[in-house]
Amino acid sequence: MSGERAGGSEVTESDPEDTDSESGDTAAILDELFDVIEERKETLPEDSYTASLFTHEKGENAVLEKLGEETTELLLAAKDDDYEEIAHESADIVYHLLVLLSMKDVDLADLRAELRERR
């Protein structure tokens, strides 16, 4: 099931038991999402929430504000032990983080390398 979340970001829900194909592969999902973000940055479709973040009058501050907002929402969901909202807000943070990385021309491979170093 997919739908529009606050702020216009689209979130797709999947069955947590679904581990076959791409839907169960976190790396593939992140790669696909980052590719879409990069494509929207290049083409700037008018009806795209992602594209609007790249053209927002506040510039990168719009994404930074969204990251702050989503982080606060995640903390409140965690405080309330609301598993569903924790998952939703975490996805919002990851999405907006990927937008920020794209804005700063940081490749997903750079993020993976940094995380690998911290193992």
Contact 34, 108 (CB under 8 A): yes
Q: Which residue, among 96, 72, 98, has the nearest Cα to 85 in the 3D structure? A: 72
Contact 108, 46 (CB under 8 A): no
3-49: pLDDT as tens digits: 334 444 444 444 444 444 545 699 999 999 999 999 999 999 999 99
Query: What is the pLDDT at residue 56?
Result: 96
Query: What is the pLDDT at residue 5?
Result: 41
36-94: pLDDT as tens digits: 999 999 999 999 999 999 999 999 999 999 999 999 999 999 999 999 999 999 999 99
Tell me: pLDDT of 98 over 80: yes
Per-residue pLDDT, averaged over 97-118, amounts to 96
Query: Domains along the chain?
Result: 23-117 (1.10.287.1080)
What's the CA gap between 3 and 68, in Å, rounded?
Answer: 22
What's the CA gap between 69 and 78, in Å, rounded?
Answer: 14
